[in-house]
Amino acid sequence: MKTDIARRNFMGKMAVLLGYAGLGPLQLSGQGRSRQAVAGAPDPKKPADYDKLIKLANNENPYGPPEGVLKAMNDAWKYGNRYAAPDGGIFDAIAEHHHVKPENVLIGCGSSEILKIVDDAFLPDHKLVVGVEPTYETVYRFATNSKAKAIAVPLTKTYDANMKEIIRVTKLNARDVGVVYICNPNNPTGRIVPKDEIKLLLDSIPGDIPVFIDEAYHHFVDDPNYEPSVKYVIEGRKVIIARTFSKIAALAGMRLGYAVAPKEIIDQLKPFVMSYNTNTIVKFGGVASLKDTANEAKIKQLNKQIRDRVTGELKGMGYEVIPSQSNFFMVNVKKDVTPVAEEFLKKGFVVGRKFPPMTEWLRVSVGTDEEMKGFMKVFKELFPAQPTAQTKAG
């Protein structure tokens, strides 16, 4: 495949990657990498009235941090003249939360930095990362920037990870695979990888291949077939878990994430961490957030209630919706989503970008009740009701 477009067309039609046949892995092109803006770069397309728009694109918590977290951060301003100390006890708090030791914890400037650190540590030039497509492709972008390569396994017909194929491809390329990446729940589909399949993956591939499990949206899941994977770290498996305070904790703009992994892996990651990579204020906010389980439960319930109502309306209009276990969902609008997003923007709503090869699926973050009522009003203006509703995933 000489171009990203050709590669994606082939995948969409055949659901087979060239790398599977032993002909070599696929490398994301510059075009593919550019679909995600580089953090910190100005967006020339950002409207002047951006702050007034309803934002349903980045899977943020629309309610903001609770009072206890705000107070903890406000009280920490007095330490703003120091680089790293005090840290609010963030390492101890995370370790206690997961029943591990502080030596099993690494913090980052959002979980995005954790993804970058893992790529730097385990994906040197020409190494392979195995994952699915579509998924949170930042890990692929970081990999290809460092001249590593990505093998992206297409999702199944029910939009789930094809675990048997992930295992097969990993074993086939075991000597060259630097890391296997699993986003669970997956972004952008909101689908989980069941606990039995995570175990199958770990039991089936060589034990020296790190498995990187991104649990950014873990807090929203209520499916009994799902479970967090930190227990594998406790068992001593070569597993790295990424978590973030950007989603349910509502600290996306403050930037705090972390990894939980065996000490040996944490030690491998540490050389790639930028000095003083997180600010003092957010560390205190993170500790307060971990303690506020009542607010977490409240946000989870609100999200589910609003998400289920909106997706039910969409299905009632005859549109296919992928059942989600997260704070976003995907709806099939049956046309390219780029112009659709532009139409929503004209109406004051920022919605998700395109996620090839699912180019006709619109990802929508779950906002407040009022915001989602507004979204449905615009949706009904742009799209007519269909004869019947169909759902491919259960």
The pLDDT of residue 294 is: 97
pLDDT at 11 over 50: no
Q: Average per-residue pLDDT in the chain? A: 89
Contacts of 353 (CB under 8 A, 6+ apart): 35, 57, 337, 338, 341, 363
Percent pLDDT > 70 in the chain is 86
pLDDT at 12 over 60: no
Q: What's the gap between Cα 391 and its chain centre?
A: 23
Q: Which of 81-85, 148-152, 162-166 has the lowest mean pLDDT?
A: 81-85
Residue 325 CA to residue 59 CA, distance in Å, equals 13
pLDDT at 24 over 90: no
The pLDDT of residue 85 is: 79
pLDDT at 336 over 60: yes
The pLDDT of residue 388 is: 60
Q: What is the pLDDT of residues 190-221, one digit of tens each?
A: 999 999 999 999 999 999 999 999 999 999 99
The pLDDT of residue 91 is: 98
Which residues face 211 on adjacent strands? 180, 239
The pLDDT of residue 147 is: 87
* Domain with residues 33-64+294-382, CATH architecture: Alpha-Beta Complex (3.90)
Look at the block and give the residue holding tokens 């994301």.
Answer: 28
**Other C-beta atoms within 10 Å of 330: how many?**
26
State residue 368 phi and psi, 5-degree precision.
-70, 170
pLDDT at 290 over 90: yes
List of long-range contacts for 5-12, beta carbons under 8 Å, 24+ apart = 5/31, 8/356, 8/357, 9/357, 11/133, 11/152, 11/154, 11/357, 12/357
pLDDT at 4 over 80: no
Q: What is the pLDDT of residues 31-80, one digit of tens each?
A: 344 344 444 445 546 666 778 899 999 999 999 999 999 999 999 999 99
The pLDDT of residue 47 is: 64
Cβ(57)–Cβ(353) under 8 Å? yes
The pLDDT of residue 84 is: 77
Mean predicted confidence (pLDDT) in 375-388: 90
pLDDT at 317 over 50: yes
Q: Which of 15-29, 48-62, 89-103, 319-333 has the lowest mean pLDDT?
A: 15-29
pLDDT band of residue 373 (cuts 50, 70, 90) is: very high
Q: Is the peptide bond before 357 cis (omega within 30 degrees of 0)?
A: yes
Mean predicted confidence (pLDDT) in 327-337: 98
Pick the CATH number of 67-292 from 3.40.640.10, 3.90.220.20, 1.20.1070.10, 3.40.710.10: 3.40.640.10
pLDDT at 108 over 50: yes
The pLDDT of residue 177 is: 98
Q: How do the domains of the chain map onto residue ranges?
A: 33-64+294-382, 67-292
